[in-house]
Amino acid sequence: MTEEKLSVGFIGLGIMGQHMAGHILAAGHPLNIYNRTRAKGDALVAKGATWCDSPGAVADASDITITIVGYPADVEQVYLGEDGIIAKARPGSVLIDMTTSSPALAGKIAQAALARGLSALDAPVSGGDVGAKAGKLAIMLGGDARAFERVLPVLELMGGNIALMGKAGAGQHTKMANQIAIASTMLAVAESISYARAAGLDPMQVLKVIGTGAASSFLLNGLGPKMVDEDFAPGFFVHHFVKDMSIALSEAERLGLDLPGLSLARSLYGKLVDDGFGEEGTQALYRAYNAIHAEAG
C-alpha cells in the first residue's frame, strides 16, 4: 500500500480530534470516522469523510485506525470489545491509540493486536487544542518500529515533534512524565499570578516581564494571561487532566516514587471537578487560589 492510498479511520472527534482528523482529510486520505455524538462528525462528512456506525466498522474500512477517546475504560471498550477495533480490523492494519491512557492497557492492546496479525501503537499527544489546530502536536509513541515507520507520514500531518520512545506502553509512560511536569508548572503559574496580585502589581505586566526570562514556558505565556483574565474556556478539560494525574500517581506508586507536587495538583484539580468545573480548561486551577484568597480576606 502506498502512502497516498492509505485509508485512515478516526474515532473520537472532540476538541482535539476534530482538528487532527481534519488535517488527515485535507491531505487527501480517505477518512472513515465515528464519534458517540454523531453531530460532531457532520463538518468532516461535509468535506468528504465517510461516517461509520461503530468503531469496529471504522477499523474494517481502514488501513490505519486512530483513536483519541476519553478514559482508559473507553479505550478498552473500543479496542477489546466483542465488536471492537481488534475484532474487526483488516489484517495487517495499524492501530494507533492517541488517548492518554494506562501503560499496562497499551501493552494488553498490543498483545491482542499481534495475536490477530495487527500492529498497535500507543501514541498520546501534547499541545492541546492549539497544537491540534496547527498540526504541531508532540506525539510520543510506544510499539513496533516497523509499524511506526509505516504510519509516520500520517502522524506528520498532526505533529511536529514525533518520537518512538520504546516498546508498547513507552508512549504512555512518556506522556505521564509530560503531565507530571505540567501539573507542578500549573501550580507555579497560578501561585505566581496570585502573589503578583496580592503585592499590588499588574499581573499581566508581570507575565510580560517574567515570560521572557528563566520562568518562561508555554504554560506561563499561554495560559497565564487566561488566568489573569479569568478565561477558563477549555483547550483541555480539567476532568481529563485529573484522569491523567490519577494514572500518573498510580504508576508512581507502582514504581515506588513519592511525587508531592503531583499529589497536590491532583487534589486541587479534583476539588474543581467536585465543585462543578470539570468541563473548564486546566487554567481554571486559578479558581482554587481565588477561593483561598477569598477565605483569607
Q: Which residue numbers are catalytic? A: 175
Q: Which long-range contacts (CB under 8 A, 24 or more apart) does 42-47 make?
A: 43/18, 44/13, 44/18, 47/22
* CA–CA gap between residue 8 and residue 215 (Å, rounded): 41
Question: Do 234 and 279 contact (CB within 8 A), yes or no?
Answer: yes
* CA–CA gap between residue 195 and residue 201 (Å, rounded): 9
* CA–CA gap between residue 2 and residue 231 (Å, rounded): 45
* CA–CA gap between residue 108 and residue 128 (Å, rounded): 27
One-letter amino acid for residue 254 of the chain = R
Alpha helices in the chain (DSSP H): 17-26, 42-46, 55-60, 72-80, 85-88, 103-115, 128-134, 145-155, 170-198, 203-210, 218, 224-229, 238-254, 260-274, 286-296
Question: CA Rg, the chain, in Å?
Answer: 20
* CA–CA gap between residue 102 and residue 94 (Å, rounded): 19
* CA–CA gap between residue 81 and residue 21 (Å, rounded): 23
Question: Do 249 and 269 contact (CB within 8 A), yes or no?
Answer: no
What grid cell was written down for 25? 482529510
Q: Which burial class, exposed, middle or buried, applies to 130 when counting CB atoms under 10 A from its CB (0-12, 13-18, 19+)?
A: middle
